């Protein structure tokens, strides 16, 4: 497995204004990366940039909405013109939607698909041609352990993350021979404003700072998948191979 040094690397990170992305921006900067951060809330990004620079790191704010493909293309163009060619892209922006079968609304399901899957595709469309022209690059989108197999309350969210994982596993066949590293980031429960809304038991909950350290270490090692926290990631991974009745019984007991 190739090892890379984040020091001096130009990293583009989306969903940087909160939770995992926010912690990741600080951790990347602490490890010496030149961090270009994107989210819709410009004022938060600007405050983060100031904080990173005060502590000796390098960061730039490039606000934008991942739902807007043209905006993502402009963001990438601006980063590459004003900072450096992007070495590593981390499309992390995403959200959650609880399944309420009694209020089933296909538009809501498609909107979460559009953000969690379509938003990543927009970012990749903006960056992949440039990386291809340079002979490769590193892409590390944030999916989820919830994308492994069906879970209660997660029909919309899990489907979007499952689509993303499938896409990345497939595109890896095409991009790896062209010099790309694809790291699929699959967190379990991480304490963020997103999960603060959850009113159910979240086993093996980790802090966003801990998540950021694990993700950075996985990217540095050029891992195919960064699934955490252990042993939850192993249990969920193992669950993929269980017969459906056994899997459903275990999940029903947990949640
Ligand atoms: N927390 C967990 O337990 C967990 C577990 C597995 C996977 N994940 C995944 O990790 C990622 C981050 O989650 P989180 O828990 O850190 O959530 P969060 O605290 O709610 O942060 C979400 C981030 O995405 C940004 N965002 C949302 N919509 C956007 C849009 N249309 N365009 C640009 N940015 C947008 C938000 O910024 P603005 O509002 O400023 O745009 C924010 O920075 C998500 O993809 C999530 O699915 C989280």
CA of 134 to the centre of ligand 1 (A): 29
Residue nearest atom 42 in ligand 1 by C-alpha distance: 15
Please name the residues in contact with 249: beta carbons below 8 A apart, sequence gap of 6 or more: none
Query: What is the per-residue burial (b if ≥16 Cβ within 10 Å, else e) of 193-207?
Result: eebeeeeeeeeeebe
pLDDT in tens, 49-103: 999 999 999 999 999 999 999 999 999 999 999 999 999 999 999 999 887 888 8
Mean pLDDT of 217-222: 98
Q: Is the CB of 195 under 6 A from ligand 1?
A: yes
Domain positions in the chain are: 10-254
pLDDT in tens, 152-172: 989 999 999 999 999 999 999
CA of 242 to the centre of ligand 1 (A): 30
Q: Is the CB of 218 under 6 A from ligand 1?
A: no
* Residues with catalytic function: 157
Q: Does domain 10-254 have CATH number 3.40.30.10?
A: no
Q: Is the CB of 209 under 6 A from ligand 1?
A: no
CA of 135 to the centre of ligand 1 (A): 30
């Amino acid at each position: 497995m190739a090892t890379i040094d984040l020091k001096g690397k130009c990293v583009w990170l989306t969903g940087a204004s909160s939770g995992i992305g926010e912690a990741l921006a600080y951790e990347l900067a602490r490890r010496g990366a030149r961090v270009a951060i994107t989210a819709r809330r410009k004022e938060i990004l600007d405050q983060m940039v100031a904080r990173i620079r005060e502590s000796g790191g390098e960061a730039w704010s490039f606000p934008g909405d991942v739902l807007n493909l043209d905006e993502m293309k402009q963001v990438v163009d601006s980063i590459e013109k004003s900072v450096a060619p992007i070495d590593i892209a981390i499309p992390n922006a995403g959200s959650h939607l609880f399944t309420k079968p009694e209020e089933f609304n296909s538009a809501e399901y498609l909107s979460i698909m559009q953000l969690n899957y379509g938003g990543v595709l927009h970012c990749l469309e903006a960056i992949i041609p440039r990386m291809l022209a340079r002979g490769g690059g590193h892409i590390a989108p944030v999916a989820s352990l919830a994308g492994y197999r069906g879970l209660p309350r997660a029909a919309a969210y899990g489907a979007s993350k499952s689509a993303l994982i499938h896409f990345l596993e497939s595109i890896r066949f095409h991009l790896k021979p062209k010099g790309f590293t694809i790291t699929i980031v699959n967190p379990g429960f991480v304490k963020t404003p997103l999960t603060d809304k959850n009113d159910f038991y979240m086993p093996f909950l980790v802090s966003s700072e801990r998540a950021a350290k694990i993700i950075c270490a996985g990217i540095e090692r050029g891992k195919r998948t960064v699934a955490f926290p252990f042993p939850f990631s192993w249990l969920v991974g193992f669950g993929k191979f269980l017969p459906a009745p056994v899997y459903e019984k275990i999940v029903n007991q947990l949640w």
